[in-house]
């Protein structure tokens, strides 16, 4: 317990260093609600490891939102050193339409490496996930490297022999890992994104999980400032863009040798 509490304090301290940077924005913009759906498939191995893949789609409920305007496919593998520690790798390929500038369908590949720890805190499972990813973007955009830290707290409740409830809350922060801002963006912000998520996972059987959730995503940006006649900033500059999200994950699990066996089942938010 002492070691776990130490990790809680260290993780909280790290987030404490990042969050004040997000609070320095001069403006806040609010996007309309966004809907997200994800279909997942896992193949569990006898040694506890698993392969997984997913198809993710999202669209905005705003006036100009398009159905499934930003999507990705993703596949990965996770290996467990012990009941508490694991590491993994995955590759995500995002795709979306850019017809408005005659560039057609755009693809953004993003590999990721991660390490994960899960421990007990007062009867709850406390998870920490640290990862590094690198997104390849088409010119003239710069490629984007990020470090991500996710903290989550959950607990599993049995409804009957088959059905289980899994309430969970999570926060993930993504930080830019460039050594220094580019010359043409000297005010680029270190913290790129923060996401709060609350969910109630439904484990319907050994093979099927359904996870509805709500979330709030904050993107921390710097826009070209606009000034009035008196020199006061009226738009642009350091801005937090907040997007409310409602979503659902549906996961199907297959087992090596076909028959279900006891294993560590992670949340659907990989």
* Segment among 20-24, 97-101, 192-196 with least mean pLDDT: 20-24
| Average confidence (pLDDT) over 140-158 | 92
Structure confidence at residue 69 (pLDDT):
72
Mean pLDDT of the chain: 84
C-alpha to C-alpha distances, 194 to 20, 92, 217, nearest whole angstrom: 12, 19, 6
Structure confidence at residue 25 (pLDDT):
45
Kindly provide the b/e burial profile for residues 29-47, where b requires at least 16 CB atoms within 10 angstroms of the residue's own CB: eebeebbbebebebebbee
In a domain, 137, yes or no: yes
| Average confidence (pLDDT) over 67-79 | 88
Instruction: State the number of CA atoms in the 13 A half-sphere of 7 facing the CB.
Output: 20
In a domain, 262, yes or no: no
CA 144 to chain centre: 16
In a domain, 267, yes or no: no
**Overall number of domains in the chain:** 1
Structure confidence at residue 178 (pLDDT):
72
Kindly provide the b/e burial profile for residues 229-266, where b requires at least 16 CB atoms within 10 angstroms of the residue's own CB: eeeeeeeebbbbbebebebebbbebebeeeeeeebebb
Structure confidence at residue 169 (pLDDT):
98
Contacts of 98 by beta carbon, 8 Å cutoff, 6+ apart: 104, 105, 106
In a domain, 244, yes or no: yes
Nearest in space to 149 (alpha carbons), one of 1, 10, 6, 5: 10
In a domain, 29, yes or no: yes
pLDDT tens figures, 45-59: 999 999 999 999 988
CATH number for the domain that contains residue 10: 2.40.160
Instruction: State the number of CA atoms in the 13 A half-sphere of 162 facing the CB.
Output: 5
Nearest in space to 146 (alpha carbons), one of 161, 159, 133: 133
Domain carrying residue 196: 2-255
C-alpha to C-alpha distances, 66 to 36, 62, 71, 217, nearest whole angstrom: 12, 9, 12, 19
In a domain, 263, yes or no: no
Contacts of 262 by beta carbon, 8 Å cutoff, 6+ apart: none
| Average confidence (pLDDT) over 262-270 | 93
In a domain, 266, yes or no: no
In a domain, 50, yes or no: yes
């Amino acid at each position: 317990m002492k070691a776990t509490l130490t990790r809680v304090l260290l993780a909280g301290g790290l987030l404490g260093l990042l969050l004040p940077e997000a609070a320095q924005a001069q403006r806040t913009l609010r996007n309309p609600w966004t809907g997200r759906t994800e279909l997942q498939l896992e193949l569990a191995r006898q040694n506890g490891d698993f392969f997984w893949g997913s198809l993710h789609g999202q669209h905005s409920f705003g006036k100009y939102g398009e159905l499934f305007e930003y999507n990705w496919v993703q596949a990965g593998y996770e290996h467990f050193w012990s009941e508490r520690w694991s590491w993994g790798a995955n590759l995500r390929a995002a795709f979306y339409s850019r017809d408005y500038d005659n560039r057609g369908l755009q693809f953004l590949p993003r590999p990721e490496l991660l390490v994960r720890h899960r421990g007990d805190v007062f009867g709850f499972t406390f998870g920490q996930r640290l990862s590094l990813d690198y997104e390849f973007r088409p010119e003239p955009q710069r490629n984007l490297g990020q470090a991500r830290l996710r903290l989550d707290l959950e607990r599993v409740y049995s409804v009957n022999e088959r059905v289980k409830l899994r309430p969970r809350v999570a926060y993930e922060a993504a930080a830019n890992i460039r050594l220094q801002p580019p010359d043409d963006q000297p005010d680029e912000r270190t913290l790129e994104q923060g996401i709060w998520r609350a969910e109630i996972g439904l484990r319907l059987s050994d093979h099927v999980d359904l996870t509805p959730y709500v979330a709030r995503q904050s993107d921390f940006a710097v826009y070209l400032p606009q000034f009035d006649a008196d020199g006061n900033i009226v738009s642009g500059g350091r801005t937090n863009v907040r997007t409310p999200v409602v979503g659902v994950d549906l996961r199907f699990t297959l087992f090596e040798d076909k028959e279900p066996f006891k294993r560590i089942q992670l949340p659907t938010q990989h």
